[in-house]
Amino acid sequence: MRKFGVVNEERTSLSNSTLKAATAEELPPELDENLEVTELDEEAQALQDMLDNMNSTRQTPRDHWLEEIELENLTSEEAAKILDQVITNGMYEETYKMGRMVVRLRTRTTSDADRVIEAIQDFKPETNGTLSHLIARMNLAASISKFGDKQFNFTAPNDGDQEVLELEFTERYNFLSNVPSQIFFALTQILERFDRRVQLACDPRAIENF
């Protein structure tokens, strides 16, 4: 016998009712340990590093200089010694080894730079390759003071006239004409490294409060 007002429906399981506890919310991607992470490619990583550097403490010019001399395996103390010799002696020399042979290079003067400019105006190189070769050869001739057993003379500019200086330069320039091309290009690379070291040592950023 049906009771009045009673609806004959199946009882809803308590587990299916609205009283069931809410399921745990999904974790955001950055907190989900099981989420597969895609590695950044090199360009994206480089961009991220740049942004990180921008957000870090701003570096001073001297900080950048310290990083650059470190790349050249040069300490601040060694750089200071190079600068002192350039100021005190008017020049600086370094010795390098090529196999068993010793090569010594020295810094150049403003007159050497003027000579290069005059040569460019006279020869008028038509290609960048020709121009680079001419500059490298003239700079090397103005810097090389020892090549194996061969010693070259460098008369002090204030002691000798311009004619003597040009004769000494011509001797070094002609000597390099007889050097094998492989050795010549190796010497130009050594000169580039030498110039970088001297340039960094004389950089104004080396000054503490620059």
What does the pLDDT look like over 28-80, one tens digit per residue?
Answer: 555 555 655 555 677 788 787 777 766 556 778 888 899 899 999 999 999 99
pLDDT band of residue 14 (cuts 50, 70, 90) is: very low
pLDDT band of residue 208 (cuts 50, 70, 90) is: low
pLDDT band of residue 4 (cuts 50, 70, 90) is: very low
Residue 135 has phi, psi (to 5 degrees) of -65, -45
Give the up-direction half-sphere exposure of residue 43: CA atoms within 13 A in the CB hemisphere. Answer: 0
Residue range 104-132: average pLDDT?
Answer: 94
The pLDDT of residue 25: 58
Residue 100 has phi, psi (to 5 degrees) of -95, -5
C-alpha to C-alpha distances, 149 to 30, 45, 108, 152, 197, nearest whole angstrom: 68, 51, 22, 10, 25
Q: Is the pLDDT of residue 27 over 70?
A: no
Q: Is the pTM of this model over 0.95?
A: no
More confident residue, 109 or 18: 109
Bridge partners (DSSP) of residue 104 are: 95, 146
Question: Which amino acid, one-letter code, is at 121?
Answer: Q
More confident residue, 195 or 4: 195
Torsion of CA 163, 169, 170, 171, to 10 degrees: 110
Residue range 102-106: average pLDDT?
Answer: 97
3-class DSSP assignment, residue 115: helix
More confident residue, 152 or 12: 152
Q: Report the candidate in 164, 172, 163 with the shortest Cα–Cα distance to residue 139.
A: 172
Residue range 134-142: average pLDDT?
Answer: 96
Q: Is the pLDDT of residue 176 over 70?
A: yes
The percent of residues in the chain predicted with pLDDT above 90, rounded, is 60
**Contact 183/137 with Cβ under 8 angstroms?**
no
pLDDT band of residue 206 (cuts 50, 70, 90) is: confident
Bridge partners (DSSP) of residue 106 are: 93
